[in-house]
Amino acid sequence: MSTIEDPRPRLVPPETVRAKVFILDLNGLLVRYCSQEEADASRVFGHQPVHLSTHSWYVPRVGLSAFLKAVRRDFTLIFWTSRVKRNADALLRDLEERSLIPTRFLRSEPEIEVWAQAECTRYATTREGFRGRALYLKSFARLYDYNLATRDVLLVDDSVKKNSTNSPFSAIHPSSFTPWTEEHAPHRDHACSLS
């Protein structure tokens, strides 16, 4: 007897989920994209900005490599940026080449997903609401596609707004990494501290 498959996505029962999942934002959390002026200013506070492409610089957060190594031992990692995928790939490739993320971090770990703008929910393009720019939300509806249960996921993202369709209890929001300020000088910024 044939059966009709239910097309609706199903949550995987918690006991079948392999590990808890950390979903980590990129810009403002692990690194900060910036202008050359901002990059220069970050040097004043002891950071080492990286020239990524013609007009694009970034500053890696202090302790980034050690932080990722540590959380990777106990959690499945997903990087999720609201920028387009090729930007994320260029950044992660550069971080890898500079050993700022563990060596072979991406190539040898196929289970580490990189989600980008295509995985976000495009929310609005109204000039009144969002200055004419689309807002890309990181909706947990996306988790269904990956058989992930919301209860097993923690989003770490400096943007509260991008989590606005999800339960606030599934996310933590460190303040945006701004390396040209005293607050995020290496000796004061403990967001990636393991102690």
The one-letter amino acid code at 164 reads S
Tokens 């209890």 — which residue? 169
Minimum gap (Å) between residue 176 Cβ and Mg ion = 7
Of positions 22, 23, 24, 28, contacts Mg ion by CB under 5 A: 28
Q: Which one, 120 or 143, has the nearer CB to Mg ion? A: 120
Q: For residue 136, state whether it binds Mg ion (rule: CB under 5 A).
A: no
152: contact with Mg ion by CB under 5 A:
no
> DSSP for 119-145?
GSEE----HHHHTT---EE--THHHHH
**Cβ-based nearer residue to Mg ion, 90 or 149:** 90
Count of residues interacting with Mg ion (CB under 5 A): 4
Q: Which residue is nearest to Mg ion (CB)?
A: 28
Q: Is 91 in the site for Mg ion (CB under 5 A)?
A: no
Min CB(159)–Mg ion separation in Å: 5
The burial of 86, by beta-carbon neighbours within 10 Å (0-12 exposed, 13-18 middle, 19 or more buried), is given as exposed
**Coil/strand/helix, residue 100:** coil
Residue pair 162/134 in contact (Cβ under 8 Å)? The answer is: no
**Please, which residues bridge with residue 23 across strands?**
78, 155
Please report how close the Cβ of residue 148 comes to Mg ion at its closest, in angstroms. 21
Among 94, 119, 152, 158, binds Mg ion (CB under 5 A): 158
Does position 31 interact with Mg ion (CB under 5 A)? The reply is no
Least distance from Mg ion to the Cβ atom of residue 84, Å: 14
Tell me the closest approach of the beta carbon of residue 34 to Mg ion, in angstroms.
13
The single residue among 21, 27, 57, 148 that binds Mg ion, judged by CB under 5 A, is 27
Under the binding rule (CB under 5 A), the answer on residue 189 touching Mg ion is no
Name the region of 164 (left: φ>0; alpha: ψ -120 to 50; beta: rest): alpha
Sheet holding 56-60, edge to edge: 31-34, 56-60, 50-53
Reading the block at residue 182, the tokens are: 């005293």
Residue 176 burial (C-beta neighbours within 10 Å; 0-12, 13-18, 19+): middle
Decide if residue 25 touches Mg ion (CB under 5 A). Answer: yes
**Per CB under 5 A, 163 contacts Mg ion:** no
State the residues that interact with Mg ion by CB under 5 A: 25, 27-28, 158
